[in-house]
Amino acid sequence: MTEVTGRTDQVVGVAAVQVAGAVADQDVAAGVGEEAVVAVEETDRSELIEVPLVGLGYRQPLAEWISTCPSEVHCLEITAEHFFDHGQARLEWLSENYPLYVHGLGLSLGTPGPLDAETLDQFTKVVSVAKPDWISEHVAFTRSAEVDLGHLNPVAPTMRSLQTLVDHARELMDRCQKPLILENVTSFLRLPGDLSEPEFLNRLCDQAGCGLLLDVTNLLINARNHEFDELAWLRELDHRHIRQLHVVGYSQRGGVWHDNHGAAIQDELFQLIAEVVQSTFVSAVIVERDMNFPPTDELRRDLSRLEDVCATARQRSVHHHG
Ligand SMILES: [Fe+2]
């Protein structure tokens, strides 16, 4: 148990220190509120008070714009698989110019048995070039023992799958020597199990010594499709684990909510982000747009609004906790 606790502290400590430095660097360019900076100097509750960095998932159609280092983009998340076979020079440039996070899609941490050795090797190589602040994957499986299913599938919240995920999360951290955060996914099925989803995530983080990447869009979509209260779900979660958020606009077809990653962020998602930032240690918020890319002016507006929402929420948390 000592080892597990040590790892949790390491995740929190590393992220807080790196974010503190990154925010200071971004103050001038991004216009982070002066009040927030003063508040940091006046108290040592720095994890709660730092305004989270706001950034984007790095995608090819955005590459040219991102290479101009727009002031609204404080940080980037790259998808490891996009750099498995090429792009090393680009990755080095991104690493030198942005706080970077490496997100994996295909390690399939929820599949019982050993992790796929080749995928793990490639992922580790990307991490060694990108030098990210942390790495992330999903609470999901993408392949069975025999077949690659090609998309993220939910894991039943059972004690057995908990052990599989804990073992794989530890192995991944050992290989990459980086803090790991794991992401909640959407699912059209509610799989029965031994634990509620938040309790499953709490135990996963406690036992593996990892953190959480909370996708607020996935949470809202699941809450609407399966008719549960997203705020009650959030209250069940141990807030100390949440280090990063994902957000992107949802879509609706025939009464079903979808995460097709192609729409602008809706108002209720901004509200949900405010709720989470006010009460957790979130260090970064990443907009995860994969298609229907709008003009960059529109992305700039969304990022600025996100920054404002985060700064206001952190101010509220300072008053609330201070
Ligand atoms: Fe996501």
Rounded to whole angstroms, how far apart are CA atoms 63 and 55? Answer: 13
What are the DSSP E strand ranges found in the chain?
53-57, 75-79, 100-103, 134-138, 140-143, 148-154, 180-183, 211-215, 242-247, 249-253, 256-263, 284-287
Tell me how far the alpha carbon of residue 185 lies from the centroid of ligand 1, in angstroms.
Answer: 7
Tell me how far the alpha carbon of residue 204 lies from the centroid of ligand 1, in angstroms.
Answer: 18
Q: Assess if residue 83 is contained within a domain.
A: yes
Q: What is the pLDDT of residue 149?
A: 75
Q: Assess if residue 246 is contained within a domain.
A: no
Tell me how far the alpha carbon of residue 155 lies from the centroid of ligand 1, in angstroms.
Answer: 16
Rounded to whole angstroms, how far apart are CA atoms 204 and 194? Answer: 13
pTM: 0.84
Rounded to whole angstroms, how far apart are CA atoms 173 and 297? Answer: 38
Q: What is the pLDDT of residue 50?
A: 84
Q: What is the pLDDT of residue 281?
A: 87
Tell me how far the alpha carbon of residue 207 lies from the centroid of ligand 1, in angstroms.
Answer: 23
For the beta carbon of residue 144, count every other beta carbon within 10 angstroms.
13
Tell me how far the alpha carbon of residue 291 lies from the centroid of ligand 1, in angstroms.
Answer: 14
Rounded to whole angstroms, how far apart are CA atoms 66 and 225? Answer: 35
Q: Is 32 left (phi over 0), alpha (psi -120 to 50) or beta?
A: beta
Tell me how far the alpha carbon of residue 284 lies from the centroid of ligand 1, in angstroms.
Answer: 13
Token digits of residue 273: 């982000």
Within the chain, how many helices (H) and strands (E) appear?
12, 12
For the beta carbon of residue 25, count every other beta carbon within 10 angstroms.
12
Domain harbouring 226, CATH code: 3.20.20.150
Tell me how far the alpha carbon of residue 5 lies from the centroid of ligand 1, in angstroms.
Answer: 27
Which string of b and e fits 106-121 if b means at least 16 CB within 10 Å?
bbbbbbeeebbeebbe
Rounded to whole angstroms, how far apart are CA atoms 25 and 50? Answer: 13
Q: What is the pLDDT of residue 319?
A: 65
Token digits of residue 56: 């984007």
Rounded to whole angstroms, how far apart are CA atoms 94 and 59? Answer: 12
**Do residues 74 and 30 lie in contact, with contact meaning Cβ atoms separated by under 8 Å?**
yes
Tell me how far the alpha carbon of residue 39 lies from the centroid of ligand 1, in angstroms.
Answer: 31
Tell me how far the alpha carbon of residue 219 lies from the centroid of ligand 1, in angstroms.
Answer: 10
Phi, psi of 15 (to 5 degrees): -65, -40
Tell me how far the alpha carbon of residue 49 lies from the centroid of ligand 1, in angstroms.
Answer: 24
Rounded to whole angstroms, how far apart are CA atoms 116 and 143? Answer: 10
DSSP class of residue 59 equals -
Query: Which domain covers residue 178, as residue numbers?
Result: 2-15+33-238+253-321
Tell me how far the alpha carbon of residue 175 lies from the centroid of ligand 1, in angstroms.
Answer: 23
Q: Assess if residue 22 is contained within a domain.
A: no
The pLDDT mean for the chain works out to: 85
One-letter amino acid identity for 241?
Answer: H
Q: What is the pLDDT of residue 320?
A: 62
Tell me how far the alpha carbon of residue 261 lies from the centroid of ligand 1, in angstroms.
Answer: 9
Q: Assess if residue 21 is contained within a domain.
A: no
Q: What is the pLDDT of residue 190?
A: 83
Q: Assess if residue 245 is contained within a domain.
A: no
One-letter amino acid identity for 18?
Answer: Q
Q: Which residue has the tokens 């994890």?
A: 47
Q: Assess if residue 28 is contained within a domain.
A: no
Tell me how far the alpha carbon of residue 286 lies from the centroid of ligand 1, in angstroms.
Answer: 9
What is the domain count for the chain?
Answer: 1
Rounded to whole angstroms, how far apart are CA atoms 34 and 203? Answer: 38
Q: Assess if residue 25 is contained within a domain.
A: no
Tell me which residues of the chain have a pLDDT lower than 50.
1-45
Q: What is the pLDDT of residue 260?
A: 82
102: helix, strand or coil: strand
The crossing angle, in degrees rounded to 10, of helices 296-321 and 34-42 is 30
Tell me how far the alpha carbon of residue 112 lies from the centroid of ligand 1, in angstroms.
Answer: 23
Tell me how far the alpha carbon of residue 34 lies from the centroid of ligand 1, in angstroms.
Answer: 31
Q: Note the pLDDT tens digit of each residue in 149-167.
A: 778 888 999 999 999 999 9
Q: Assess if residue 146 is contained within a domain.
A: yes
Tell me how far the alpha carbon of residue 46 lies from the centroid of ligand 1, in angstroms.
Answer: 26
Q: What is the pLDDT of residue 254?
A: 87
Q: What is the pLDDT of residue 31?
A: 37
Tell me how far the alpha carbon of residue 256 lies from the centroid of ligand 1, in angstroms.
Answer: 18
